[in-house]
Structure 1
Amino acid sequence: MSILSGKNAVITGGETGIGLGIAEALSAAGAKVLIGGILDDKGRDAVAKIKGKGGTVDFVKVDVRDGDQVDALVQAGVDRFGRLDIMVNNAGVFDGFASCLDTSESLWDKVIDINLKGTFFGCQAALRRLVPQGSGRIINTSSVGGLRGAADGASYTASKFAIVGLTRQIACTYAENGITINAICPGVIQTEIRANSTRILGEDAPKMAGVGADPDGYKRLVPARRKGTPSEVGDLAVFLASDHAAYINGQAIAIDGGWTAT
């Protein structure tokens, strides 16, 4: 029997990159998955990919900045699958390493609203279902940029540090309700986050610094001297969503090829 057989999951930002890697991994482990995302075309592609491997999956367009939309997404998961067991708050955008002085108020607001407020809304919507049933898993996507100050830009770093703090506060509050909540902190992962963030942020998107400048520069930071893959992050999410991780709670777990060990 697969490790997540009989479990039902909702994931925001599951149509691309790390989110898609997590959605694929949850499905492969036996979970039914509802993806919520802002990119319709990517969402359709994700559903086709997972269904092609025999998974049970659907996609709902959602703007995580809107709490009502996030709550409706979670309720759609309950309506489709019968209950919620796993909530993954992954939707996020990158700020292109924009410094404090280079960060406009509009860019700040969009990054914080999508990354942090979206995670808060996802946690809130999940807890409304998980607390009454006395069980469940919440997984939030933070970043190495939520553990170190020199990894990313100002707004992205602020949002990811805040996700770690939110995760720990909720973990302490609801542990007695049979719920665990942890944060995954990826390092350098092979995704298209810069291109997708530019598309989502629109006119507020900064120049995505670092693209093409030194494609191997990360090797100076990462002892493994390679980028991680979305599927490797997905494997960690599967473990945290499983019964094997029942006593792991309130943690910010780096998956970074050793970056934070240096």
Structure 2
Amino acid sequence: MSDFSGRIMVVTGGETGIGRATVLELANTGATVVIGGILADKAEETIALAKDASGSVEFVQTDVRDVKAVDALIDGAVAKYGRIDGLICNAGIFDGFASGIDTSDALWDQIIDVNLRGTFYACRAALRHMTKQKYGRIVNVASVGGLTGMADGVSYTASKHGVVGLTRHLGCYYAKDGVTVNAVCPGVIVTPLRDNSTRILGEDAPVMAGVGVDPEWLPRTVPMARKGEPEDISAMIVFLLSDRANYITGQCMTIDGGWTAK
């Protein structure tokens, strides 16, 4: 396990699910972790879970749809701690598998604004500092929905394809500056994404359909015939943040129980 003592990490959407698992793993290996998100009650739970960690966790109220808030999150971390070593862009919401015809303008805008625009805002803000430092690690949370056409609804699929493209471009462009940019593409993972999305989207939220409506879907689609856990994803994220991943950039690591390998 890597030692992140003294490292400064910012995690958007670090309150629950994959974000929470990543925050806890980083804190347990000595990192100072700043969560940027909008679910303050869930962030409090995460901070409580990290109370015995060798590192520390704090929360900054941040809506990634607001560029000023994202800039304040990143710039504030640098002002307080002197640098930013890692950024994990995990903030995301789901579209309930809404088809093209069933996707409203409002739903489309919300999904793109959180999943893609918010990821871009955070990457841009972090890169301003990382390129000056000549060091940085960025990991974006994409999805198998960013690699295939029929894993999710249309707006989520478009947003995650955008995250994959963003990752590949930034990873190549800023490699010369000592910054790596990679992504993870989770498959079916046990997280509260649907509940959180309904809460965040409010009146724009669609019916959150999910895996389980067809009991045969999972064993038919995923060779491992089970859902993954948040820790299955956070393990790869933490590896990509470590110095063991120095020669990896612009890559999208698929963690899906074999789904897309079939």
Unaligned 5+ runs, structure 1: none
Instruction: Map 1:26-37 onto structure 2 (within 5 A).
Output: 26-37=26-37
CA distance in structure 1 between the partners assigned to 2:196 and 2:55 by the alignment:
25
Query: Which moves more between the two structures, 125-134 or 204-213?
Result: 204-213
**4+ runs deviating over 6 angstroms:** none
Query: 8 Å contact 2:30–2:53 — kept in the other structure?
Result: no
Give 1:193's aligned residue: 193
Instruction: Map 1:1-262 onto structure 2 (within 5 A).
Output: 2-210=2-210, 212-215=212-215, 217-262=217-262
Residue-by-residue CA offset, 1:98-129 (whole Å, 9 max, x unaligned): 00000000000000000000000000010011
Query: 8 Å contact 2:95–2:153 — kept in the other structure?
Result: yes
The letter for the 2-side match of 1:197 is S
Residue-by-residue CA offset, 1:118-173 (whole Å, 9 max, x unaligned): 00000001001100010000000000000010100000000000000011111111
CA distance in structure 1 between the partners assigned to 2:157 and 2:212 by the alignment:
22
Q: CA deviation at 1:232?
A: 1.5
CA distance in structure 2 between the partners assigned to 1:80 and 1:260 by the alignment:
42
Q: CA deviation at 1:40?
A: 1.0
Residue-by-residue CA offset, 1:168-187 (whole Å, 9 max, x unaligned): 11111110000000011000
SS at match of 2:152: coil
CA distance in structure 2 between the partners assigned to 1:66 and 1:215 by the alignment:
39
TM-score for both structures, normalised by structure 1 = 0.96
CA distance in structure 2 between the partners assigned to 1:237 and 1:226 by the alignment:
21
CA distance in structure 2 between the partners assigned to 1:139 and 1:216 by the alignment:
33
Residue-by-residue CA offset, 1:46-82 (whole Å, 9 max, x unaligned): 1111124443010011000111100111122223332
Unaligned 5+ runs, structure 2: none
Residue-by-residue CA offset, 1:197-223 (whole Å, 9 max, x unaligned): 000000010001136523562221111
CA distance in structure 2 between the partners assigned to 1:215 and 1:56 by the alignment:
41
Query: Which moves more between the two structures, 49-58 or 104-113?
Result: 49-58
Query: 8 Å contact 1:189–1:227 — kept in the other structure?
Result: yes
